[in-house]
Structure 1
Amino acid sequence: MKFTFCHNNFNVTNLEKSLEFYNKALGLKETSRIESEDGSFIIVYLGDGVTTHNLELTWLRDWDREYNLGDNEFHLALRVDNFEEAHKLHKELECICFENEAMGIYFIADPDNYWIEILPPKNK
């Protein structure tokens, strides 16, 4: 028996704002969408165009408060081929929420304050 990753889910309060953020900040594109017949939810899957792993964004019509993210200890991590250029973009977008220069990484926060770790290219 073998398990493989499919997707991670983030629930979002403003789907359009989140889609714009993930496209601008990380280049993620919509790969598919599910909309309930009664309009109570929309699920959008985002992909990087390279791997099969997706980020699932779920919007719930009747959700009326911010999501409780605990202490933001859980997060996604993405590796980028040009760390300096990515850092510059994220600084311009004002979404960097934590930097660890000693480890050579930083985190960005999406519109709902989910954290995404940005990793430099792997050393070969």
Structure 2
Amino acid sequence: MATDPSKYKFNRTTMIRVKDPKRSVEFYNFLGLSQINRLDFPENKFSLYFLAYDGPQALSGSRHWTDRNGVIELTHNYGTENDPSYTVSNGNIEPYRGFGHLAISVDNIELACKRLEDANFSFQKKLAEGRMRNIAFVKDPDGYWVEIIRKHQTDAAVAQTDPSSYRMNHTMVRVKDPEASLKFYQEVFGMTLLHTLELAGADCNLYFLAYPS
């Protein structure tokens, strides 16, 4: 029997390597994600931490960890937390530009960003900076960028932002040939092109793909 790409699901949104899993898990917990599983491989000296939105408002909360939407997988190689020379590339610095960022949609972007600023997290771009005043980029402990975006066109009229209502929205990767990449993700993995955004000022185009169901 042939496999049916229309039934595929985007499960592990992104795997990233981290230096200190304790700090990384705490950061993503602050953004409302929960650790839903951990796999240890002592013989190979690494562990995997799986995080996702898991509360009542989560789209796939309570499901088995392999049947979730928007899972972040943190890979920790033993000993890196005590190695002052160990660093990772965040994918945004030449010559290693490839992976770009994770993106999380929030109920009220102003309040969400203020909460992150008040907790003294470092920003690559604050909400009031740059040309695009409707997004921000906070940095995780390893310097990976996490984009903060509005869940909808308008922010919720809330007095206090609620991280349990946040959602893992997308992962950005840079591609060399968009035609070849779109063909791969659509024809091989059955994804659908939802939206194309042309940013002439930034000399780039953005293509958003997903499993619409």
- How high is the TM-score relative to the length of structure 2? 0.53
More displaced 10-residue stretch of structure 1: 68-77 or 43-52: 68-77
Contact between 2:113 and 2:127, CA under 8 Å: does it hold in 1?
A: no
The structure 2 residue matched to 1:123, chosen from 139, 149, 153, is: 153
Whole-angstrom CA distance in 1 between matches of 2:153 and 2:124: 25
Structure 1's unaligned 5+ residue stretches are none
Q: Does 1:15 align with 2:21?
A: yes
Counting only pairs closer than 5 Å after superposition, residues 49-64 of structure 1 correspond to structure 2 as 49=54, 50-51=58-59, 52-61=69-78, 63=80, 64=83
Encode CA deviations 1:36-82: one digit per residue, 9 max, x unaligned. 13360110000112142200001011555101224256101110012
- How high is the TM-score relative to the length of structure 1? 0.87
User: What is the root-mean-square deviation in Å for CA atoms of aligned residues?
Assistant: 2.0
1:85 aligned counterpart, secondary structure: helix
Q: Does 1:89 align with 2:115?
A: yes
Letter in 2 for 1:12: V
Whole-angstrom CA distance in 2 between matches of 1:80 and 1:71: 23
The residue that corresponds to 1:46 in the other structure is: 51
Whole-angstrom CA distance in 1 between matches of 2:153 and 2:53: 21
How many residue pairs get aligned? The number is 123
2:100 aligned counterpart, secondary structure: coil
Structure 2's unaligned 5+ residue stretches are 60-68, 94-98, 155-213
Whole-angstrom CA distance in 1 between matches of 2:142 and 2:73: 14
